[in-house]
Amino acid sequence: EAQVTQNPRYLITVTGKKLTVTCSQNMNHEYMSWYRQDPGLGLRQIYYSMNVEVTDKGDVPEGYKVSRKEKRNFPLILESPSPNQTSLYFCASSLNNSPLHFGNGTRLTVT
């Protein structure tokens, strides 16, 4: 089944403790991206990647890192999480000029 898989679905952590949210797609898509969704602010893009080893900042990249060493994986790294990064995170992928396929989301709480 074609899908975008994010893990974990839920994560509670403390300020400053490094964490990684994984994202994997099995559709051979070149494009992958990360979003955060907050009430009243909608869906905001954090980082995106056009292909392996190519990543660019989105609208809200501060406090996040990404890597794209393989085509299928695009992990989101929070080196030192803070409470303002508490949010619902989505990974998405697509072929060029095609609709995005979204993962089911990761709900992160930073205390």
Partner 1 sequence: SQELEQSPQSLIVQEGKNLTINCTSSKTLYGLYWYKQKYGEGLIFLMMLQKGGEEKSHEKITAKLDEKKQQSSLHITASQPSHAGIYLCGPSPSGSARQLTFGSGTQLTVLP
Label the pairing between strands 54-57 and 87-94.
Answer: unpaired
Binding of residue 74 to partner 1 (CB under 8 A): no
Q: Residue 16: left (phi > 0), alpha (psi -120 to 50), or beta? A: left
**Residue 23 C-beta: closest distance to partner 1, Å:** 12
Own/partner contacts of 56-60, CB < 8 Å, gap of 24 or more, are 58/33, 58/34, 60/36
| Sole binder of partner 1 in the list 53, 59, 70, 79 (CB under 8 A) | 59
Choose which of 1, 62, 69, 96 interacts with partner 1 (CB under 8 A).
96
Burial of residue 36 (CB within 10 Å: 0-12, 13-18, 19+) is buried
Report the C-alpha gap between 107 and 93 in whole angstroms: 19
Candidates 11-19, 35-43, 70-78, 79-87; binding stretch for partner 1 (CB under 8 A): 35-43
Q: Per CB under 8 A, does 33 bind partner 1? A: yes
**Binding piece for partner 1, criterion CB under 8 A, among 20-28, 68-76, 78-86, 96-104:** 96-104
State the residues that interact with partner 1 by CB under 8 A: 4, 31, 33, 35, 40-45, 48, 50, 56, 58-59, 88, 90, 92, 96-97, 99-105, 107
